[in-house]
Structure 1
Amino acid sequence: MDLRAAGEFRRTPLERADQDVSWARGDQAFFASGACHLLAWTVRAAHPGHALAVVGLRRPGEAAICHVYAVRADGWAFDHAGWHPEVDLRAVNEAYEGTVLERVPVPEATTLAAFCAAHRHRMPTQYAGDPWPRARAYVDRYPPPAT
């Protein structure tokens, strides 16, 4: 899959206001903007042997994380665009945003609920449907690169 910036899929005002409209977007758009955090938690759970860490990107001067992905110790990262070297994932997002984005590691012990509360992300129950099966099916489309 081609590496594209998450910002290319930013939700419209209607998609932000109406969870049914947001839910109806294609999988890549849904997991690029609005459910990237759920995808990161899902890929980490799906590949426990790969020691995946959750990482966020934050715009300068902002407290909230704007994009979330999972990264292995060898530098391979997974987000809406599948597996790519983390340096490339960051570069495409920074080029799109026109700024250097701060890399924010999420401590491994951080629960999804705590993350969502701290960074204004939706909990799974706040979507129009159950996002977990959708996230798992999406992760399963992309086998991890060989180590």
Structure 2
Amino acid sequence: MAAEAAGAFRRTAIERSDQRIAWDRTDQAFFAAGACHILAWVCRDSYPDRAIEIAGVRLAGGRQVFHAYALWNSWAFDHSGWNSEPELLAANTTFEGRPLESVKITDSLAEFCETHHSRMPHQYWQDPLPRAHDYVSRYTPPWA
């Protein structure tokens, strides 16, 4: 699957205000907007023998990360599966119509959530971790 912009799956006002409605979106939409950080950390933790990092996309020069993904070498994993990081950044830049940049995230999941106003797993309508593990398992990693 080619890289798609996370913004193409932004939550509606009702999806932002009602966790059950947000939960009922397709897996791709759920992990593109609203739970991308959960997917990124699960991907990293699913391959403990690989040096997978966490990265994020933000407006160039900005502070707020609006999309998180797992990163191994030059391969990025997000709602679109495994794609080259330049392809993922290009898809998001084109969609947003503004310069974006990738930043490495060294925080824990809890620190990331606090800094970037994101939800921890226990704050979702249901536990997103099993759903994220299932989603990661659908994609063959680039080293396989």
Q: TM-score category by the smaller chain?
A: over 0.9
Give the conservation status (yes or no) of the 8 Å contact 2:89–2:101.
no
Residue 135 (structure 2) aligns with: 138
Give the conservation status (yes or no) of the 8 Å contact 2:51–2:72.
yes
Shift of 1:25: 0.3
Report the RMSD for the aligned CA atoms in angstroms: 1.2
CA distance in 1, matches of 2:2, 2:86: 15
The aligned runs of 1:15-94 (5 Å cut-off) are: 15-60=15-60, 62-73=62-73, 75-94=74-93
CA distance in 2, matches of 1:60, 1:51: 26
CA distance in 2, matches of 1:2, 1:86: 12
In structure 1, runs of 5+ residues without a counterpart are: none
CA distance in 2, matches of 1:54, 1:124: 17
For normalisation by structure 2, the TM-score amounts to 0.96
For normalisation by structure 1, the TM-score amounts to 0.94
Aligned residues: 144
In structure 2, runs of 5+ residues without a counterpart are: none
CA distance in 1, matches of 2:3, 2:75: 13
Structure 1 runs (4+) deviating above 2 angstroms are: 60-63
Shift of 1:61: 5.4
Q: Percent identity?
A: 51
